[in-house]
Every structure is written in structure tokens, then in C-alpha cells.
Amino acid sequence: MTILLASGSAHKVAEVRRILETAGVTADIVGLGDVSPYPEPVEDGATFEDNALIKARAGFAVTGLPTLADDSGIEVDVLNRMPGVRSARWAGGHADDQANLDLLVRQVADVAAERRGARFVCTMALVWSGGERVVRGVVEGSLATAPRGERGFGYDPLFVPRGETRTTAELSDTEKDAISHRGRAVRAMAPYLTEVGE
């Protein structure tokens, strides 16, 4: 069973492969770099769910492969749950992970520790000939006072999951997968992936 993960991020593709393997799902997960290029749709949805479905529907329509897509980001309480769906573009349309992280660090620099609540959210959509499924994974936590750790990507160096003292960039892949928003979403999606193979 080949499933397209509608993402150009090698980090995400590797992460989803790992999580599914641990969950006992046998599938060949390929990313956008493994299929013929196609114009990626504009992610103009108002919610994570909207954007995940936009990407999954586009991937399935173009390739005919069952397509997974996620939209994920960080919600920061003192920023009224922003960046939210704008997490990947928080510092501008062409910003990279470092620019987004640096901007968030500056925005919360003077916020007291007890007011630095945040959460990572991942919504995952699956579109295939048998229908559509959407699931969500959330991990609550807070923002560190400064980025720490060399692992992970995106906002990982700033986010401390609830019950942890380390940022997600300081956790091993196995530790992160067990509690992460994407890990939770992928595990919630796993039962539906067995429907695809039937």
C-alpha cells in the first residue's frame, strides 16, 4: 500500500513513517519529492482542518494515491492562540523555521513564566477513493524563556510539553513521537489507514 504524504518536508515524512511503523501499520509512505511535481494548493483555510483537507484533496486528485496531509502549528495563549494556522508563515510568506522561531521569541520575551502557556496542534486528513477522514492531535505545554536543543524542527526548541522540563528539541525521536501532536494525530489516523488497504 502506497500512501502519499502531501508534504515536501523530509522531517515530516520520516516522522510519519516512524510513528506508523511503531503503530504496526504497514505502508509505503512517499512525500511530494517522490511524485511528479504539481502545483501545491493555496492553504487559505480558516482552520487546521480546512488546510489539511485542501492539501489531501489536491494530492489525491493529482496522483490518484491515497493522500495524507497535515496542518499543524503552535497556539500561544498570550497571543490569542496565534500563530495558529499561520505558524509556518508567522514571520512572512517566505520565512524559514528560524525566522518564525526568532519572531515568536521576541514576541513573548517579556511574558512571565506562568503566562507562557501554549500547545502544539496537528490536524491530519486522509483522502482516498473510499472517502475522507480527519483527526486531531494536541499536546499542551508552555514556552521556554529561550530556545534549547538541536533536535526537531520548527518551534520545537521553544516548546516544553506539560510534565517535561526539556523542550521537544531536547527529546529523542522516540520520546517526542510518544507525546507529540503529530504522533497523536498519526496514531488516531492509523485505524483508517487499514481501510485504505482493504
Q: Which residues are catalytic?
A: 71
Helix, coil or strand: residue 70: strand
Query: Quick check: bond before 37 cis, omega within 30?
Result: no
Length, in residues, of the chain? 198
Give the CA angle between residues 188, 78, 135 to the nearest 5°.
10
Between CA 155 and CA 72 the distance in angstroms is 11
Residue position matching grid coordinates 527529546: 171
Helices (H), the chain: 10-22, 48-63, 97-107, 173-179, 181-196
Strands 67-76 and 82-83, sheet pairing = antiparallel
Q: Quick one: CA torsion of 184, 185, 186, 189, rounded to 10 degrees? A: 120
Between CA 169 and CA 50 the distance in angstroms is 28
